[in-house]
Amino acid sequence: MSETIIWGDAPLRWQELVAVAAGGARLELSDAAWRRIENARQIVQHIVDEGRVAYGINTGLGALCNITLDPPQLSQLSRNTLLSHACGVGPLLGEAEARAIVCAAIANYSHGYSGISPRVVQGLLALLNQRITPQIPSQGSVGYLTHMAHVGLALIGVGQVSWRGQTVSAEQALREAGLQPCPLAAKDGLSLVNGTPCMTGLACLALADAERLLDWADVTGAMSFEALRGQSDAFDAEILALKASDGIRHVGERLRNLTADSAIVAESRGVRTQDALSLRSMPQIHGACRDQFAHAARQIVTELNAATDNPLVLGSPDAWRVVSQANPHGESVAMAADLLAMALAELGSVAERRLDRLVNPLVSGLPAFLVAEPGVNSGMMIAQYVAASLCGENRRLAQPAVLDNFVTSGLQEDHLSLGTSAALKLLKLAENLYQILAIEYLLAGQALDFHGAHRAGSGTQQAWRLLRAQVATWQEDRWLAPEIARAATIIKTERL
């Protein structure tokens, strides 16, 4: 039976969102969350009943905010909002990515400031828990709107979804799951497309990737360090403590533990005065990346726990306020995703420098390209080319999205975060980094074989055994691409 996670009584954690979006956990809301949602909805209904004018409740949207609508038009406005905003293009998001967006939307509504109908939130929970996944084109968002509009279409039985391993119409999936298309009322359409759930949900998935990649970069780096006969003074705890960085301290401790009891490191002591920076600066580089991860995670979790609609509904039906503001602006998430992208690009860049040293006999002291009979065998030569190519792509992906800007909605929305673009390119960059570290993993494992992997450190030897359970030592050239894929799978699924 799958785990059930209940939101609404405590701050939300990004790990919980990932457990639902990618791990198959069920999601429910607490009684307190439902009371908050219902209270805000009563305020919206009170405004409609009294004929009071409030943006997004009984007016047009964006540049059309000064057009007042009659009550009979409000349900049609909500439906039309979804239809007109669902204009994304390009490849579809993956299932976990689509589910992450739905999760973040439910988190937004659970705070009780949206004014959305409770039945709409119930419909979103049903999509998640019955695994009816809206098909969402990946391109077209300058911050929000388009991706969530495609989610909203699935609720009302329009468009296509993934259901039981097939692509079917939303109408068919709802019918087969015993659900009805969700009727919409005042503000429901705007609440469905508004806010920062898209960038926040995607960024939470990226945090999960980044956390794993940071851990494995230490592992593959430690293996390369041993294979290149690194000087362990660079990881001295007293020296690293002279920089007051939690990340540096943590990485130094991990590298010492991974290479503990290594006969290779012990025998290498004093073979050179100092190592190349790609080896001796691992605590400083990996540590800086960890510090940026910690900052980005704080920003993203803050957004996950925020009410990000416009307008927001406050108070009670007897004493209420509807405030038009800019909480949907995702500047903090965009900056966090861009910062983390730079950190992960650097993690890959220094890994590529290490693995390049492994294949170069001028600096490695090992057979050229890590194969016993170079010449007739090319060995790991071209694997380094692949890593270099991926690093080049990551440098391009690490360019900040948040610095782009455009003007939309007839000058009404004249500064945009590009937060969804930032999160999507971060996910692509992370996937590239899995492959770069997989290549370093293969090459470092092969290099340790030449030294005698049984003489490696306690942690690096464990990592080598994991690799050798899937990929045999190279004696002569064989098809390398599947072995990179196997190494990447180990990094994606295993932890030391």
Question: Quick one: three-class SS letters along 414-444?
Answer: CCCCCHHHHHHHHHHHHHHHHHHHHHHHHHH
Q: Is 144 a catalytic residue?
A: no
pLDDT surpasses 80 at 80: yes
Q: Residue 404 has what pLDDT?
A: 77
Residue 423: pLDDT band with limits 50, 70, 90: very high
pLDDT surpasses 80 at 71: no
Lowest-pLDDT range, 23-37, 51-65, 210-224? 51-65
Residue 412: pLDDT band with limits 50, 70, 90: low
Lowest-pLDDT range, 122-136, 184-198, 239-253, 415-429? 415-429
Domain count of the fold of the chain: 2
CA 248 – CA 290 distance, rounded (Å):
8
- pLDDT tens figures, 333-375: 999 999 999 999 999 999 999 999 999 999 999 998 888 877 7
CA 416 – CA 393 distance, rounded (Å):
25
- CB-based contact 225:172 (threshold 8 Å): no
Residue 495, phi then psi, degrees to nearest 5: -130, 145
| The domain boundary residue, chosen from 194, 229, 260 | 194
CA 186 – CA 47 distance, rounded (Å):
10
106 and 167 assigned to the same domain? yes
428 and 377 assigned to the same domain? yes
Q: Which residue has the higher pLDDT, 405 or 443?
A: 443
CATH number of the domain residue 109 falls in: 1.10.275.10
Averaged pLDDT for residues 275-289 = 97
Average pLDDT, rounded, for the chain = 93
215 and 181 assigned to the same domain? no
pLDDT surpasses 80 at 64: no
Q: Which residue has the higher pLDDT, 125 or 70?
A: 125
102 and 128 assigned to the same domain? yes
**Residue 307 CB neighbours (<10 A):** 19
With a CB cutoff of 8 Å and minimum separation 6, the contacts of 321 are: 313, 314, 315
Q: Provide DSSP, 292-309.
A: HHHHHHHHHHHHHTS---
Residue 330: pLDDT band with limits 50, 70, 90: confident
Residue whose structure tokens are 């170069």: 360
Averaged pLDDT for residues 425-447 = 98
Q: Which residue has the higher pLDDT, 279 or 405?
A: 279
177 and 281 assigned to the same domain? no
With a CB cutoff of 8 Å and minimum separation 6, the contacts of 20 are: 5, 26, 27, 99, 103, 128
pLDDT surpasses 80 at 464: yes
pTM given for the model: 0.95
Q: Write out the residue range of the structural domain in which residue 147 sits.
A: 4-194
Please measure the distance between the N-terminal and C-terminal CA atoms of the chain and give it in whole angstroms: 27
349 and 440 assigned to the same domain? yes
Averaged pLDDT for residues 168-180 = 97
- CA nearest 152: which of 130, 113, 197, 120? 120
Give me 455's structure tokens. Answer: 């003489």
Give me 431's structure tokens. Answer: 């996937």
Q: Residue 319 has what pLDDT?
A: 93
184 and 49 assigned to the same domain? yes
pLDDT surpasses 90 at 171: yes
E strand or H helix at 215: helix 197-227
pLDDT surpasses 90 at 143: no
Averaged pLDDT for residues 448-461 = 96
pLDDT surpasses 90 at 384: yes
CATH number of the domain residue 226 falls in: 1.20.200.10
Averaged pLDDT for residues 120-145 = 92
Averaged pLDDT for residues 85-97 = 95
Give me 39's structure tokens. Answer: 């209270």
% of the chain with per-residue pLDDT over 70: 96
pLDDT surpasses 80 at 1: no
Averaged pLDDT for residues 119-130 = 98
126 and 61 assigned to the same domain? yes
- CA nearest 181: which of 153, 149, 145, 150? 153
- pLDDT tens figures, 214-268: 999 999 999 999 999 999 999 999 999 999 999 999 999 999 999 999 999 999 9
CA 298 – CA 379 distance, rounded (Å):
43
Helices 95-110 and 118-129: crossing angle, nearest 10°?
A: 150
CA 351 – CA 354 distance, rounded (Å):
5
Residue 70: pLDDT band with limits 50, 70, 90: confident
- Point out the catalytic residue in the list 55, 109, 113, 441: 55
185 and 210 assigned to the same domain? no
| The domain boundary residue, chosen from 131, 161, 194 | 194
Question: Running DSSP on this structure, what letter comes out for residue 323?
Answer: E
Q: Residue 380 has what pLDDT?
A: 87
255 and 162 assigned to the same domain? no
CA 305 – CA 129 distance, rounded (Å):
21
359 and 310 assigned to the same domain? yes
| The domain boundary residue, chosen from 129, 164, 194 | 194
CA 148 – CA 38 distance, rounded (Å):
22
With a CB cutoff of 8 Å and minimum separation 6, the contacts of 195 are: 105, 108, 114, 144, 148, 308, 309, 310, 327, 328
173 and 235 assigned to the same domain? no
